[in-house]
Chain A
Amino acid sequence: MFKSSNIWFLSSLLVSLGVLIPIITVFFSFFETTSNYYEILKNTFLIEYIFNSFVLLVSVLILTFFIGTFSAYLVSFYKFPFSNFFKWALILSFAVPPYIYAFSLTAFFENYGTAFTILTNLFGDGEYNKDIPKFDGMIGAIMSISFSLYAYVYILSRSSFLYQSQNLIELGKSLGFSKLKSLYKLILPAARPAIIAGLSLVAMETLAEFGAVDFFSINTLTTGIYNSWIAFDDLAFANRISFFLLLFIFALFVLENLSRKNAKYHFNTRGGFKQKTKIKLTGSKSFLAFIFCFFIFFMSFIFPLSQMLYWTIKFPSNIFDLPVLTLTMNTLYLVTLSSLALIIFSLISNYGNRVSKNKLLNMLSTLSISGYAIPGVILAVAFISFIAWFDENVFQYFGSYSIKKIFIGSILGLVIVYFVRFYSLAFNGIKSGYEKINISVDESSYLLGYSKKKTFMNIHVPFLRNSLLFVCILVSLEIIRELPITLILRPFNFETFATTAFISASEDMLEAAAAPSLFLILIAAIFIMITSKYILREKDE
């Protein structure tokens, strides 16, 4: 008979191992033989893939660092018109996935696009096309990803600035530093771990980005994986590129983890913490701060939103053709199933870790949450590889029916891969809730006669209520925006707002992409507004 702690340990172990399967598959696939495509590509495009991925990564990091930290600095330290509004409005950019931003950029600046229409309406007919800048190709991809992802850097730097003690600012003043010198000598170095953590997330998302880069026809490692699988039907090669990308991401992951450990040191303000009083800006400084934040807010949220709104109104037939109810139901269906699975299994896994205190389990859990760092394309491909291998070597061997249909091109398969991809969000979200419950609370519960199960149900679950809600909304937000996994694994004729928008845009029907994109932005924005208090740690202020 197993003891109750053993059952929790086993359940937790199974969840962690399950999540690790696609990651392990990618690793082993590296040693498989591939088709001639690898040889062709090695001599032609591979360098281009790597070069483009690198340029994209570095440019996005520079831009998001500048936008994210500077806007966080302004709203954290200064008071200026609408500064309280910008504090949360700047995270609305999360509602706009890079591929929808890419559609908006193209729609606005393309020949005879929205910019052309505005100029014609204002100044009459003219040859405006040649004067309108074109934000396509690499520049378009950099802008789309940066304006969509800078919020990671913004949120983490802002929360770090919040914890910076007034003493630090006063120290700058006493040393005779100007505001600018205080910023780069004291404030930024103190927030370094948080900024690096934010940039690491941006880096992982950039390397994983599929929609925007594919739309702008930039060949990166991620699109390479997708193409080698879709166009050349070479799963082994797709896995081989994935392996290289994984190594890259793993290095970033380690970097991010290291910087988080340092964060403890940097933010230790025990005993010396003094609530900051914001400095009121006046005159031109106040105006410039307002303009900067407004520009970022406008560019990241208002611009894509209004472009999509404009086209939806301009081409109303598209909205009537859009099966809104079906798409909403499909999206909600995926969101509900995935969130439920993630919440339940992450709770079990967290509790298993907590009660068993097993080092192996702890290590496995740490590894299993790396799914978030792995691009959706890789996970989808790895999942197909694993199912194919399992089907051929285990099921077929015993003469059973093929299980491919159950997992590939089915809701079940889709939910499983979402699960692997977003497991870290759910696991870490619940873990941070758990960290607030002292272990002696569990022990008190046992001593009051509660079993482990009763402690879990009566003490932990009610306490974690808010964390669970937060995780649920965060996961939902990600699934609503998610593209590559859904594209690859969705059942035939099963669409979401994201896939409908992307497919229309891929078929050069940007107008038709507007309505689903608009719905997607609005739904995501609502989710963000509901959770903004948690995301911004309002309680800490």
Chain B
Amino acid sequence: MSKNFFEIKNVDFIVGGKTKVKNVSLSIENEGDVICLLGPSGIGKTTILRTIAGLEKINNGSIQLKDKILSSKKINVEPEDRNISLSFQENSLFPHFTIEENILLGAEKNKDKKGKRINLKEIIQLLDIKKILKKYPHEISAGEAQRASLARSLMTKPDLLLLDEPLSNVDQSFKEEIQVRLKKILNRLKISTIIVTHDSYEAFYLGNKCAIILDGQIKQYDDPYNVYHFPNSIEVVNFLNRGILIPAKVTGENSLENKDLGTIKGNFVKHYPKGSSVKLLLQPEDLEHDDKSNLKLEVVDRRFRGTNFIYTLKTSNNLLIPVFVHSHHIHQHEVDEKFGIKRPINIDHIVCF
């Protein structure tokens, strides 16, 4: 008996005879937890969801939900007999039913179930789809279709909810608000959910845990803070694209030396012997701007991101380093100008490879 609510054990995810993701093991410990699968396009994230839903078969390992094996080499519970709901990325609403009828079909599946009731009005309000209830799927936008599909899935009150890029077509201005509402309703209804997304911010916000899928395998499965701050491989660092790796030499228990930046101090996440050459992860928020500093680097690019600027600085050894600066900072630096970095450089936790 597994103590986990949901568990995947040593499964190869296959589609069309081709293995997409190998030897996957992951679990949802508690009912109501949300996990996010992050990875580049075409890596097999959707295949994982489809397999969990029973739309694809497996040849090894097992998939269990509430202590019941749903998929294994010998067992394959049909999709209609698993209480799992999948909300597809593309429009999968029934074209000849109105949005309301589509959502009510979901409610039909839910009607005999015990436990917390799901209120249709609440879902409609939360996902802001009241205006489109009487319309047909071809009469609404892609973002509206995604929300309607999400509403239908929620109404089925599944044991496990699978969301494939649920908000990819929702307008940016509305996306964050929907994320907040979605998180609220998933928490309230305690629906265990697996979300596939390529938006790391969405994954970090919605997920209790995140799985990073790269090169046909799960590279890291951890809570969002750890995934961001303590990536376990160079591939994860490159995928998250939130920092660079610079060469450095370990000079002591809490220090390293880089030819361009000088001494960098902080707490090592992992022990490295003195004198060893490493690659240090430098994230944009690790460096501080200081106009009075004597460590000056050349500005090669400046991107305005609303709340902050991201400067790309070039060192004398041609390293390109990103640095965040609050956008209210008193003056801006143009390309080719010099940009001061505060010394000594202190990093809260030092991640090296």
Contacts and interface: CB of A to CB of B under 8 A. Distances in A.
Contact of A447 (B85, B91, B94, B95): B85
Given A462-B96, A463-B94, A443 B88 contact: yes
A438 interface: yes
Given A449-B80, A451-B80, A444 B86 contact: yes
Contacts of B90: 438, 440
Contacts of B283: none
A41 interface: no
Nearest to B83: A449
Nearest to A462: B96
Nearest to B55: A443
Contacts of B54: 446
A436 B95 contact: yes
A449 B109 contact: yes
A396 B84 CA distance: 57
A444 to B, nearest CB: 4
Interface string B75-86: 000111110111
Interface in A432-487: 436-438, 440-441, 443-451, 459, 462-463, 465
B98 to A, nearest CB: 13
B331 to A, nearest CB: 42
A169 B352 CA distance: 61
Interface in B189-237: none
B55 A463 contact: no
A295 B271 CA distance: 92
Contacts of B109: 448-449
Contacts of B106: 448
B53 interface: yes
B105 A463 contact: no
A448 B156 contact: yes
Contacts of A436: 95
A438 B91 contact: yes
A443 B88 CA distance: 9
B85 A441 contact: no
A40 B97 CA distance: 66
A59 B86 CA distance: 57
Contacts of B95: 436-437, 441, 463
B294 interface: no
Contacts of A444: 86, 88, 92-94, 149, 152
A462 B95 CA distance: 10
Contacts of A447: 53, 79-80, 82, 84-86, 156
B92 A441 contact: yes
A42 B28 CA distance: 79
Given A438-B90, A448-B109, A449-B109, A443 B79 contact: yes
B156 A443 contact: no
Nearest to A439: B92
Given A446-B78, A449-B109, A440 B88 contact: yes
Nearest to A465: B96
Contacts of B96: 462-463, 465
Contacts of B81: 449
Most chain A beta carbons < 10 A, residue from B82, B88, B90, B109 = B88
B85 A445 contact: no
B92 A443 contact: yes
Contacts of B78: 446, 451
Contacts of A445: 94
Contacts of B88: 440, 443-444
Nearest to B106: A448
Contacts of A465: 96
A443 B87 CA distance: 10
B313 to A, nearest CB: 39
A446 B80 contact: yes
A485 B93 CA distance: 44
B108 to A, nearest CB: 8
Contacts of B86: 443-444, 447
Interface string A24-62: 000000000000000000000000000000000000000
A445 B97 CA distance: 13
B49 to A, nearest CB: 11
Interface string B54-74: 110000000000000000000
A448 B95 CA distance: 15
A440 B92 CA distance: 5
Contacts of A437: 95
Contacts of B156: 447-449
Contact of B105 (A438, A448, A451): A448
A462 B96 CA distance: 7
Nearest to B89: A440
Most chain A beta carbons < 10 A, residue from B53, B80, B105, B109 = B80
Contact of A446 (B79, B91, B94): B79
A443 B80 contact: no
Nearest to B162: A447
B78 to A, nearest CB: 7
Contacts of A441: 92-95
A358 to B, nearest CB: 13
A63 B106 CA distance: 57
Contacts of A438: 90-92
Most chain B beta carbons < 10 A, residue from A437, A441, A448, A451 = A448
Contacts of B82: 447
Nearest to A3: B78
A438 B92 CA distance: 7
A438 B152 CA distance: 17
B83 to A, nearest CB: 8
Interface string B1-21: 000000000000000000000
A450 B80 contact: yes
Nearest to B108: A448
Contacts of B79: 443, 446-447
A445 B85 CA distance: 10
B80 to A, nearest CB: 5
Contact of A459 (B50, B94, B108, B149): B94
A221 to B, nearest CB: 44
B150 to A, nearest CB: 12
Contacts of A440: 88, 90-92
B320 to A, nearest CB: 35
A465 B149 CA distance: 24
15 contacts: A437-B95, A438-B91, A440-B91, A440-B92, A441-B94, A443-B53, A443-B86, A443-B92, A444-B93, A444-B94, A446-B54, A447-B53, A449-B80, A449-B81, A465-B96
Which 9 residue pairs spanning A and B have beta carbons closest together?
A440-B92, A446-B79, A440-B88, A444-B92, A463-B96, A446-B80, A449-B109, A449-B80, A441-B92
Interface of B: 50, 53-55, 78-82, 84-86, 88, 90-96, 105-106, 108-109, 149, 152, 156
Interface of A: 436-438, 440-441, 443-451, 459, 462-463, 465
Given A446-B80, A448-B106, A450-B80, 17 more contacts: A437-B95, A438-B90, A440-B92, A441-B95, A443-B50, A443-B53, A443-B79, A443-B88, A444-B86, A446-B55, A446-B79, A447-B156, A448-B80, A451-B78, A459-B94, A463-B94, A463-B95
